[in-house]
Amino acid sequence: MAVVGGGSTYTPELVDGLCDLEDRMVVDDLVLLDPSDVRRDVVGGLSERILRARGWGGTFSTTADPHAALEGADFVVVQLRIGGQAARHVDETLPVGYGCLGQETVGAGGFAKALRTVPVVLGLAEEMVARANPGAWLVDFTNPVGIVTQALLDEGHRAVGLCNVAIWAQRRLGHYLGVDPDEVAIEHVGLNHLTWIRSARIGRGTGAGPDGAGGDDRGGDGPRGADRLDDLFERFGPELELESGVPIDVLRMQHALPSYYVHYYYQHDAEVAQQAAPGHRSRADVVAELETKLLEEYRDPALVSKPAALSYRGGAYYSLAAVRLMASLHDGRGDIQVVDMRNDGAVPGLPDDAVVETTAVVDASGAHPLPQRPLPPDMLGLVQHAKAYERLAVRAACAGSRDDVVRALLANPLVGQYPLAAELADELLAANKDHLPRFFPA
């Protein structure tokens, strides 16, 4: 296994997760790829200590050489960040000056990240084809996951996209229902960072598909197979409103629990006003400060487990989702998981080749989406709008054309105005010039 961006502060959680599923997949050669000498030393050091403390006996190494890292790989996990937290700070602040959302995965900021990221990941995928073992899988955890995965699958690469939103929500619902989270089946559907949970049932695991059928025996405090969303809204409305960022009246009206990112669409102006308020700190600034503290903690040679402070970094349950996905691709068990993959008819109203995020059966041949109920017009219209933007974002990132950048911003549901799109295009390109060789070849 090669981990691209192995110097990420997430990596200790990932390697810890690898030890949890050794009954299904034993990794005997692990390579962390990262350009930073410091991060390879500090994060790599802690990662190896965690593995050894848990009895792992494989070969561990770190490198700055992509060729060496990808040679003979069976799995390539991509979790890189082009431009680091400094570029993220621009993503989260520059658009606010134009009355637009500042965010690293959606809106103008997310588009800027896609422009920086898509060509790099496609280059890695080409290297993987040349150097990895036949049939190797690329697992993408790099944001914006939906756009990056769309680019990979458009080029025919053997890839699956992964986000932690679904597994985090499943675990929260399990907490509220008082049952093992793995017993909660969620009907999760949409695009990456634009999804809704349309039912939550007890008794069939991570994704039961649209019918969510289960047995008649009891689970938790209600019957298995019955949709529990209305009950959850009634008993835990304030908590779910806070966690989703969407008013409980909307949750009840749609009979759906949106991901946190949906509130950026439903309450755009309020979010921008908050970001523009004096004293507001971008998430990039908060994370940069946290990473400095984490790296200092990672330096302690006595530390042989992931520190508690890592939970504040974000990406909760990332390791669990990632390792379960790779285990299913490895042993072909056919688990039901939420991933990003081709639609192939699962979500009515979207083309087969559109990348969606929903429940799928995962086996050794890949992820196979489960059929979903048709989305109501308010959800489907937004999803179709966002998917059109995502396809244009891939085109712009690959072509290096300013006109394509403007087109993508015009199609972006969180921008969508002219001359605003043209002004933002020039500002974003200028601010990211050092990371956009296709736009600035000289």
Q: Please state, in angstroms and rounded to a whole number, the distance separating the CA atoms of residues 356 and 225.
A: 25
Residue carrying structure tokens 């690329």:
138
Q: Please state, in angstroms and rounded to a whole number, the distance separating the CA atoms of residues 405 and 386.
A: 15
Q: Please state, in angstroms and rounded to a whole number, the distance separating the CA atoms of residues 22 and 105.
A: 33
Nearest to 347 by CA among 317, 395, 392, 386: 386
Report in angstroms the alpha-carbon separations of 276 from 113, 244, 273, 281.
21, 21, 5, 10
Q: Please state, in angstroms and rounded to a whole number, the distance separating the CA atoms of residues 124 and 33.
A: 12
Query: DSSP letters of 293-361?
Result: HHHHHHT-TT--S--GGGGGGS-TTHHHHHHHHHHHHHH---EEEEEEEE-TTSSTTS-TTSEEEEEEE
Q: Please state, in angstroms and rounded to a whole number, the distance separating the CA atoms of residues 359 and 203.
A: 16
Q: What is the DSSP letter of 262?
A: G
Q: Please state, in angstroms and rounded to a whole number, the distance separating the CA atoms of residues 107 and 89.
A: 14
Q: Please state, in angstroms and rounded to a whole number, the distance separating the CA atoms of residues 101 and 114.
A: 16
Using a 10 angstrom Cβ sphere, with 0-12 exposed, 13-18 middle and 19 or more buried, the burial of residue 388 is: middle
Report in angstroms the alpha-carbon separations of 109 from 143, 244, 254, 338.
11, 21, 28, 25
Which residues on neighbouring strands pair with residue 342, listed in sequence order? 355
Q: Which residues contact 96 (CB under 8 A, 6 or more apart)?
A: 102, 272, 275, 276
Q: What is the DSSP letter of 97?
A: G
Q: Please state, in angstroms and rounded to a whole number, the distance separating the CA atoms of residues 403 and 395.
A: 11
Q: Which residues contact 435 (CB under 8 A, 6 or more apart)?
A: 82, 83, 87, 116
Handedness of CA 411, 415, 421, 425 (dihedral sign): negative
Active-site residue (options: 261, 298, 318, 389) = 261
- Structure tokens belonging to residue 82: 């082009």
| 298 is annotated as an active-site residue | no
Q: Tell me which residues are annotated as active site.
A: 261
